[in-house]
């Protein structure tokens, strides 16, 4: 439950960004006259916290479904006819579910860009893969300086990776106001 946002999108990204921001703040506490020594990152603990926050929110949504008496079937839907779905459940059994109207809210999947070599290269991951690295990579190349690319670039740079962003458009965050790009550039020049 919770789709991309809760499981592999907004929420896990924000958990990583929060940890990365806290790390940066801790490193610069001396600006406030507070002496803090940072002994490194327990990456396993960062990942576990990400899972815990996600699971908590997912169970919240599951609870809301129950509280509102909405039936949830865990399985994959396909159309059996114009008035019924066939759902293949997790245990392999099938259920026919009749309907009057259907809302398709199946989300999207990451598009694989037509970059030669991308499919064959095991080092290439999408955002879901990048949220679950088993360690902070030494170097990270982010292709695409949109919102998701910049969030991941910021988090991993703060965690200590040497990050490079490649963007084809004239500015980072190409779909957003130029003022935001300027702010982002300015912040990236600050020590992290
Ligand atoms: C890394 C990342 C960070 C993001 N950060 C933000 C953010 O900060 N703010 C923001 O607003 N948005 C953010 N987004 C975008 C946001 O997650 C999506 O816009 C949102 O999840 C789309 O919701 P949805 O309900 O349309 O689809 P989804 O959340 O993808 O939900 C669709 C669901 O349908 C299920 N499904 C698909 N096919 C079937 C089938 N045949 N049978 C049964 N179930 C099926 C899928 O398993 C999935 O659970 C982010 C996305 C990513 C990847």
Residue-wise pLDDT tens digits, 74-97: 999 999 999 999 999 999 999 999
Three-state SS sequence of 97-153: EECCCCCCCCCCCCCCCCCCCCCCCCCCCCHHHHHCCCCCCCEEEEECCCHHHHHHH
Per-residue pLDDT of 121-168, as tens digits, reads: 999 999 999 999 999 999 999 999 999 999 999 999 999 999 999 999
Q: Whose CA is nearest to atom 12 of ligand 1?
A: 10
Average pLDDT over residues 170-191: 82
Q: How far is the CA of 106 from the centre of ligand 1 (A)?
A: 8
- Give the separation between CA 37 and CA 185, rounded to whole angstroms: 28
| Residue 192: pLDDT over 80 | no
**Average pLDDT of the segment spanning 34-42:** 94
Rg (Cα) of the chain, in Å, rounded? 21
Ligand 1, atom nearest to 1 Cα: 49
Ligand 1 centroid – CA 170 distance (Å): 28
- Name the residue at shortest CA distance from atom 30 of ligand 1: 107
Mean pLDDT across the chain: 94
pTM of the predicted model, to two decimals? Answer: 0.92
**What is residue 10's DSSP assignment?**
H
Q: What is the pLDDT of residue 184?
A: 85
pLDDT band at 23 (very low <50, low <70, confident <90, very high): very high
Q: Would the pLDDT of 191 be above 70?
A: no
């Amino acid at each position: 439950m919770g789709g991309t946002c809760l499981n592999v999108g907004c929420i896990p990204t924000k958990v990583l960004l929060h940890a990365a921001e806290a790390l940066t703040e801790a490193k610069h506490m001396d600006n406030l006259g507070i002496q803090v020594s940072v002994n490194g990152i327990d990456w396993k603990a960062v990942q576990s916290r990400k899972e815990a926050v996600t699971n908590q929110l997912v169970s919240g949504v599951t609870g809301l479904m129950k509280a509102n008496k909405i039936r949830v079937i865990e399985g994959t839907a396909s159309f059996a006819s114009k008035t019924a779905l066939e759902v293949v459940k997790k245990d392999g059994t099938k259920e026919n579910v009749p309907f009057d109207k259907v809302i398709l809210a199946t989300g999207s999947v990451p598009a694989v860009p037509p970059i030669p070599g991308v499919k064959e290269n095991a080092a290439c991951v999408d955002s879901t893969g990048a949220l679950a690295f088993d360690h902070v990579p030494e170097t990270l190349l982010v292709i695409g300086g949109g919102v998701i690319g910049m969030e991941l670039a910021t988090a991993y740079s703060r965690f200590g990776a040497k990050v490079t962003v490649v963007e084809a458009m004239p500015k980072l965050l190409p779909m957003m106001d130029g003022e935001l790009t300027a702010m982002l550039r300015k912040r990236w020049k600050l020590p992290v």
